[in-house]
């Protein structure tokens, strides 16, 4: 579905005009389409099943950990991929059955391991020998057995941004594929570890399927070798990372991705875990902001918004492109001017777009920053002591504020003065 379209001269979210939402909620705010989120998950699941695969889709909560979004995905049969105790608690609060939760991450603490074991999750994706030994110790202290998959680093370059590639030998993630047989044997000898699978995740925002083909094929070969060596292997976790279109180009479609997985691992006849995040929620979200000032410099025109890099840091962090749309639909012959779209934070890097062709917007006009459903709100901060943007979920003609705007009193209550500074100066 197309969740955000112009209707009667105004950008709408499903059946609601964004202008009316902004008047009620205030700006800036994140806006999500429940229909788009559900639709993406259904499309991926149908593609995988049509390819003859047996998928469990564990949504990657780091992309957008909203309880409301997780609950909607749970209704569609999804589980959760978590990388911290906080995400584990969110998944459980949303109602995700523990047997549909995978705990990933390269730096799990003993406390996080304990939380996962006590919850009874499906598996831990183990990423190092030291982690394996610590998990065995924690499980022994609880009198339990930890079910694991070894996350293998296949040394495949995902050809994505350097900061979000995870599958080469230079990355911190996973166990080098050459060392995996030795560590599998060690895992099998531990009293409180049950090795049941292998996992891989080579990066995020992949738009080329060939790295998947290489990584999945190497994982399948290792899986078969592990079976031949006597390990009771049951499943593969193929990770996530499917990209979306931010600026141009065509991201891989789900049927093509499913066919790659089928060709590489379908012959094994085993259940598979997939961990999509961005592909499910990326295009389902907007950041709605209002123009504070239009500033004409000597050579550049600046649109200064009430949203900032503390709300959406991707352009600053990754030089990421996000389409920017006026909420009021421009006429067909409206001239476009190159403009820098910036926020009010005291940093030169607080930029959403440079020299972007846009209509000549004025103070008070609304803009929508697109493809902000993934790695937007979840990466926000209180920098400059700015209040984070609230989050709104739309379904058809109704909406709900699913994360209210923090107020200044609540922000300040998070801090404490030490006793020797508690008395106000005279």
Positions marked active-site: 346
The DSSP output letter for 160 is S
Pairing type for strands 366-369 and 285-296 reads: antiparallel
Q: How far apart are CA 280 and CA 41, in angstroms?
A: 6
- Euclidean distance between CA atoms 204 and 71, whole angstroms: 23
Structure-token pair, residue 364: 């008070």
Distance from C-alpha of 269 to C-alpha of 248, rounded to nearest angstrom: 37
Residue 253: Cβ within 10 Å count: 14
Question: What Å distances lie between residue 255 and 249, 252, 397, CA to CA?
Answer: 17, 9, 31
Task: Residue 57: name the closest of 75, 72, 45 by CA.
Answer: 45
Determine the Cα–Cα distance for residues 264 and 269; give it in Å rounded to an integer.
11
What are the distances in angstroms from CA 221 to CA 130, 215, 413?
A: 25, 10, 54
Number of Cα atoms under 13 Å in the Cβ half of residue 283: 21
């Amino acid at each position: 579905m197309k969740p955000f379209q112009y209707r009667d001269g105004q950008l709408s979210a499903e059946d609601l005009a964004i202008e009316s939402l902004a008047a009620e909620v205030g700006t800036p705010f994140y806006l999500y389409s429940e229909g788009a989120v559900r639709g993406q998950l259904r499309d991926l699941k149908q593609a995988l099943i049509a390819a003859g695969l047996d998928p469990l889709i564990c949504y990657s909560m780091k992309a957008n950990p909203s309880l409301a979004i997780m609950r909607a995905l749970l209704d569609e049969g999804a589980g959760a991929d978590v990388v911290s105790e906080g995400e584990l608690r969110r998944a459980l609060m949303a109602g995700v059955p523990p047997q549909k939760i995978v705990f990933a991450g390269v730096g799990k603490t003993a406390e996080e391991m304990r939380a996962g074991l006590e919850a009874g999750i499906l598996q831990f994706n183990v990423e190092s020998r030291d982690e394996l030994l610590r998990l065995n110790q924690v499980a022994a202290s609880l009198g339990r057995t930890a079910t694991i998959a070894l996350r293998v680093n296949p040394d495949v370059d995902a050809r994505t941004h350097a900061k979000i590639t995870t599958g080469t030998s230079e990355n911190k993630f996973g166990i080098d594929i050459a060392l995996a047989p030795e560590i599998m044997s060690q895992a099998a000898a531990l009293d409180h570890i049950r090795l049941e699978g292998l996992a891989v995740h080579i990066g995020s925002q992949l738009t080329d399927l060939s790295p998947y083909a290489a990584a999945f094929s190497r994982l399948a070969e290792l899986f078969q070798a592990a079976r031949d060596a006597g390990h009771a292997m049951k499943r593969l976790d193929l990770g996530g990372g499917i990209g979306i279109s931010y600026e141009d180009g065509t991201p891989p479609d789900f049927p093509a991705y499913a066919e790659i997985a089928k060709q590489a691992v379908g012959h094994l006849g085993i259940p598979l875990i997939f961990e999509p995040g961005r592909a499910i929620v990326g295009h389902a979200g907007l950041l709605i902001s209002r123009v504070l000032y239009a500033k004409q410099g000597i050579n550049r025109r600046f649109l200064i918004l009430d949203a900032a890099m503390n709300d959406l840091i991707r352009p600053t962090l990754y030089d990421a492109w996000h389409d920017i749309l006026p909420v009021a639909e421009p006429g067909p012959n409206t001239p476009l001017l190159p403009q820098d779209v910036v926020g009010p934070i005291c940093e030169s890097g607080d930029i959403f777009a440079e020299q972007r062709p846009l209509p000549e917007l004025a103070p008070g006009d609304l803009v929508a920053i697109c493809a902000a459903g993934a790695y937007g709100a979840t990466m926000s901060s209180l920098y400059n002591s700015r209040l984070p943007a609230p989050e709104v979920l739309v379904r058809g003609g109704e909406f709900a504020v699913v994360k209210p705007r923090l107020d200044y009193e609540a922000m300040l209550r998070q801090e404490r003065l030490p006793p020797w500074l508690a008395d106000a100066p005279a």
